[in-house]
Amino acid sequence: MEDRRRGIRAAGDRTWRGSAHLAVGSALGFGGLTFVVDWDAGTLTPARALLWVTLSAAILVMLLPARVTAGPGWLAVRGPLRLRTVRTDSLVYVGQYGDVAAHLVLRDTLGNRLEFDPGVLHANPLLWHELDTGVRRSLERGTLRRGTEVLARLGHEIDDTNARAVLEASGLT
């Protein structure tokens, strides 16, 4: 993936396209079924059609995952409405909240803040590498004072997952 702002290659979420297809399919399926049921019942009016289109669009917005990309010193999360970017080489805070639907929160020295699903890092080692490299720079510069334990735990989880995948692929387990 090309980052046009900086003219360099950026690491992106490899699983995003499949998740986006699922979100679009779900929204279209809902919209199609509601139209067919309403039409078959003989109650489809322009107002009801607008309602079904609006609800289908809302479903798409709710299900569409954020797109995570990273490059040297930055990480970006593009949601349905806006793009949020942080400088990973000048982080001041890293936190994680939630257990079932966990979110990783990053904040940099410029006041930028973003949050995303840490499962994206599990599925994309290149994203994890970019974040980890930026975090190391933040630690060297002394800007990151809170959240190192969250990143250490996340790093161990990712390393364990990757090691298991390598062992399974090689037939050693």
Threshold 0.85, pTM exceeds: no
Residue 2: DSSP 8-state? E
Residues 77, 115, 101, 162, CA torsion sign: positive
Average pLDDT in the chain: 88
Nearest to 127, CA basis, from 5, 14, 3: 14
Higher confidence at residue 16 or residue 53? 53
| Predicted confidence band of residue 99 (pLDDT cuts 50, 70, 90) | confident
Q: Report the chain's terminal Cα–Cα distance, integer Å.
A: 34
**Residue 138: its pLDDT value, please?**
93
